[in-house]
Structure formats: C-alpha cells, structure tokens
Amino acid sequence: MNRLFALWGTTVGKKVAMAATGIVMILFLISHMISNVLIFRNPEHLDSYAALLRSLGPALWVARAGLLACVLIHIAAAWQLTMLARRARPITYAHHEYRVATYASRTMRWGGVLLFVFIVFHILHFTTGTLLPGWQDGRVGDNVKLGFQSVPVAIFYLVAMLFLGLHFSHGIWSAFQTLGLNHPSYNRSRRLLAWGLALAVAGGLATIPAAALLGYFK
C-alpha cells in the first residue's frame, strides 16, 4: 500500500493511475457501446439487457462503486496534474507555436471537463430520469427514444461523443506510454488500436443520437 502511495506521490504515478482507471472506463464503454447499439435491433433487447444487469443486485452496486472510484481517481489525478502544469509555467510565452502536439492531446483537459459534465448529465438523464420528464424505470429503450426527441440534447450527446473519441484516441495512445509500452516495432499497431477503438466506441455510441436526429426512431 505504501508503495502505491509513493507511486501516486509522483507525477508519473498519477499518470499511471489515470491510465489504469482510464482503461477500466474504456472497458466499460466498450460493453456500454455494444449493449446500447442493441437498440437498433429492437428496443426490447435493451430493456432485457438492463433487466439482466439489475438482476445482478449487489454485484451491480459493487461495479457501479468501482466505476465511480475510477472516475474520481481519474479526475483527481487530472486535476492535480493540470494544476502542476499551470504552476510550472507562471509566465507564458509571447509567441508559442505547437509543432506536433495533436488536437486530441491538446483537448485532453477541457475535453475531460466536458466529459465529466456529460457523465453527470447523462446519469441524471437516463439512469435516474431526473432530467427526463416522462422517464420510466426499466423502459430503457423508450427512455432513449424519448430523450433524444430533444434536438439540443441529441446534439449535446454528439458533441460529447466527438470529444470522447478525441480523448480516447490520445488517451489510449498515451496510456501505453504511461505503462511503459512504447517500441517502434509496434507503435503503428498502437496508433491503429487507439484510433480504431476511439472510432468504434465513440462512433458506435454516436450512432444512437445521430439516428434519432435523422428521425430513425420516429
């Protein structure tokens, strides 16, 4: 335990924590994406999937707590590193040019904040129904259709998925590096994996609000 705290005490350790929690979240989102696109086959599928999850009982709560912990650790590390980086350059350049940093890498922080806002909204929206008048417990498929009837909400989801994709593409690329895996011989596969997963997960999820906007669920 002491060793883990010592690791967390370093900038590198915080990144390791981010990479580890990020990977857990990625795994969640892969399954989340797969289960969500079931809606295209039949909204009932979604309901039965949700019911299955619910039948897990306490296990579900453990999983939820784990996920919550990951988000919190991830955010805590992101926050601390951001503050460190800010303090590390109190006077900025009059003229500074980025030469190779990708858009994805440069939007990790604000994109992350957006993702956080999205997650809070999203849970109040679909999981608790607080922000979705007409929300019905257990009728997940209908809730989704209902929720995306609002154009601004659907657009917000799409924007969030765009940033999710960006966050992912750099996050996965970077998580390998953080965990010490960078070697010219497999860097190409690493790039492909990062982009592929980003596209699959964010793209897959985005099909739902996009379909709604295009009137698919009418």
Partner 1 sequence: MKLNLKIWRQPGPAAAGAMQSYVANDVSEHMSFLEMLDVVNEELQTKGEEPIAFDHDCREGICGTCSLMINGTPHGPKRATTTCQLHMRSFSDGDTITIEPWRAKAFPVLRDLIVDRSPFDRIIASGGFISAPTGSAQDANAILVPKPDSDLAMDAAACIGCGACVAACPNSSAMLFTSAKVAHLGLLPQGQPERDQRVLSMVHQMDLEEFGGCTLFAECEDACPKEISVENIARLNRDLIRATVRDRGQVHVESGAG
Q: At what angle do helices 11-37 and 204-213 cross, to 10 degrees?
A: 50
Extract the tokens encoding 73: 């650790």
In angstroms, give the least distance from the CB of 134 to ligand HEM.
14
Considering the complex, state which of residue 121 and residue 195 has its C-beta at the smaller distance from partner 1.
Answer: 195
Considering the complex, state which of residue 208 and residue 217 has its C-beta at the smaller distance from ligand HEM.
Answer: 208
Extract the tokens encoding 12: 């590198």
Q: Which of 92, 133, 152, 218 binds partner 1 (CB under 8 A)?
A: 92
Q: Which does 122 bind (CB under 5 to 8 A by kind): partner 1, ligand HEM, none?
A: ligand HEM
Which of 151, 149, 81, 164 minimizes the C-alpha distance to 118?
A: 164
Site for ligand HEM in 78-97 (CB under 6 A): 78, 81
Residues in binding contact with ligand HEM, number by CB under 6 A: 43
Residue type, 192: L
**Is the CB of residue 166 less than 8 Å from the CB of residue 198?**
yes
Listed in sequence order, the residues at least 6 apart from 169 whose beta carbon sits closer than 8 Å to its beta carbon are 104, 194, 195, 198
Place of tokens 């969640």: 28
Q: According to the binding rule CB under 8 A, does residue 133 interact with partner 1?
A: no
Which of 209, 216, 218 minimizes the C-alpha distance to 33?
A: 209
Site for ligand HEM in 144-183 (CB under 6 A): 144, 157, 161, 164, 167, 171-172, 174-175, 178
Q: Which of 163, 176, 197, 202 binds partner 1 (CB under 8 A)?
A: 176
Listed in sequence order, the residues at least 6 apart from 181 whose beta carbon sits closer than 8 Å to its beta carbon are 190
CA dist 6 to 2, 11, 18, 88, Å? 6, 11, 15, 21
Q: What is the CA radius of gyration of the chain?
A: 19
Q: Which of 173, 197, 209, 217 binds partner 1 (CB under 8 A)?
A: 173
Q: According to the binding rule CB under 6 A, does residue 26 interact with ligand HEM?
A: yes
Q: Which does 98 bind (CB under 5 to 8 A by kind): partner 1, ligand HEM, none?
A: partner 1
Q: Which of 73, 108, 132, 146 binds ligand HEM (CB under 6 A)?
A: 108
Contact set with ligand HEM (CB under 6 A): 15, 18-19, 22, 25-26, 29, 32, 36, 50, 53, 64, 67, 71, 74-75, 78, 81, 108-109, 112-113, 115-116, 119, 122-123, 126-127, 140, 144, 157, 161, 164, 167, 171-172, 174-175, 178, 205, 208-209
